[in-house]
């Protein structure tokens, strides 16, 4: 893989991560902290090694 290919791969990965962070922020704004399409789900998509390491304590909604 030459330098251009490496740079393209890095940019593609950053774009994917950016998209996941955006979805996670949307889930937070919409109050979905756990379960499908949630902050927790996108966090694990960003960093799969976090599974089993996180101790969720999401906000309560009155």
Partner 1 sequence: MSTADALSQLEDQQGLLTAALRAMLEGKWCGEGSAAAFLQAIDPTLPDLECSPSILTSTRPAAADPTLSAYEPETQMPRQSTSWTCSACSLSWLLRALQMAPDIDESRAVAMIGSPNNINATYGLMDGSGAQIRRVLSDHGLTSSQGWLSFDQAYTIYATAPGCMSGATWYHWVAVRGVSGANLSIANSAPGYKGVFSTLSREQFNALGPFSCIWITK
Q: What is the DSSP string of 20-44?
A: HHHHHHHHHHTT--SSTTSHHHHHH
Query: How many residues form the binding site for partner 1 (CB under 8 A)?
Result: 28
Closest of 42, 49, 14, 45 to residue 27, by C-alpha: 42
DSSP 10: H
35 forms part of the interface with partner 1 (CB under 8 A): no
Residues from 4 through 23 that contact partner 1 (CB under 8 A): 7, 10-11, 14, 17-18, 21
Binding-site ranges for partner 1 (CB under 8 A): 7, 10-11, 14, 17-18, 21, 24-25, 28, 31, 33, 39-40, 42-43, 46-47, 50, 54-62
């Amino acid at each position: 893989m030459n330098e251009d290919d490496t740079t393209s791969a890095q940019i593609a990965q950053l774009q994917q991560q950016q998209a996941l962070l955006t979805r996670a922020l949307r889930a937070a704004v919409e109050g979905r902290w756990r379960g499908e399409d949630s902050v927790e789900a996108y966090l694990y998509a960003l960093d799969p090694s976090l599974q089993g390491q996180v101790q969720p304590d999401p906000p309560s909604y009155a």
